[in-house]
């Protein structure tokens, strides 16, 4: 009987105007909190999208700058030359093949011009033994493909 009275009083309380008003206030508070959380989530998502877009733009700018640097370096032509002595191996081999004594070849220096129309002009100064046993200093002029660094033409004096 006591349990029945407690249950009946609980049901009666839930139907009272005070309980219904408190439940309505609680429901409104929860709806307002939910709306605020939804707004905050939308602002966060918008900021996240904006930051992602900015990151993509920065990445594109960095990539463009790196590509421009590579193109500038390739235009200069130094990527075609040996890092150790600055020579071009294909050009050296072609010059040695034309010498009387290929073993006497000594590389002095190589100058390379910026690419024009996809080609680099190259001037190689070298020493080699002449027919009388003396050493001559000569220059050979070559043309390299700017993309592949392959020797296209070679003009050697004598």
Above 60 in pLDDT, residue 7? Answer: no
Among the ranges given (5-14, 71-80, 118-127), the one the predictor scored with the smallest mean pLDDT: 5-14
What's the pLDDT at 66?
94
What's the pLDDT at 144?
95
Above 60 in pLDDT, residue 133? Answer: yes
Q: Report how far residue 125's alpha carbon sits from residue 80's, in angstroms, rounded to the nearest whole number.
A: 16
When pLDDT is averaged across residues 133-140 and rounded to a whole number, the result is 94
Residues 81, 110 contacting (CB under 8 angstroms): yes
Among 35, 16, 29, 151, which Cα is nearest to 87's? 151
| pLDDT, tens digit (0-9, with 9 covering 90-100), for 31-84 | 999 999 999 999 999 999 999 999 999 999 999 999 998 888 888 888 899 989
What's the pLDDT at 16?
79
Residues 95, 156 contacting (CB under 8 angstroms): yes
What's the pLDDT at 17?
83
What's the pLDDT at 108?
96
When pLDDT is averaged across residues 150-157 and rounded to a whole number, the result is 91
What's the pLDDT at 23?
87
* Percent of the chain whose predicted confidence (pLDDT) is above 70: 91
pTM of the model as a whole: 0.59
**Residue spans per domain, the chain:** 2-74, 83-155
- Which is higher by pLDDT, 83 or 157? 83
Give the phi and the psi of residue 135 in degrees, each rounded to 5: -100, 130
């Amino acid at each position: 009987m006591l349990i029945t009275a407690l249950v009946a009083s609980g049901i009666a309380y839930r139907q009272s105007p005070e309980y219904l008003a408190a439940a309505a206030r609680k429901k409104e508070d929860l709806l307002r909190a939910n709306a605020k959380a939804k707004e905050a989530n939308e602002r966060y998502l918008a900021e996240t999208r904006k930051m992602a877009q900015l990151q993509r733009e920065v990445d594109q700018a960095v990539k463009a700058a790196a590509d421009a640097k590579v193109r500038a370096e390739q235009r200069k032509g130094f990527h075609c030359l040996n890092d150790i002595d600055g020579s071009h191996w294909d050009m050296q081999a072609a010059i040695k093949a034309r010498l009387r004594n290929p073993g006497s070849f000594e590389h002095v220096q190589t100058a390379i011009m910026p690419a024009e129309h996809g080609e680099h002009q190259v001037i190689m100064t070298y020493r080699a033994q002449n027919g009388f046993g003396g050493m001559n200093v000569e220059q050979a002029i070559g043309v390299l493909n700017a993309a592949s660094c392959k020797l296209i033409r070679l003009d050697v004096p004598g």
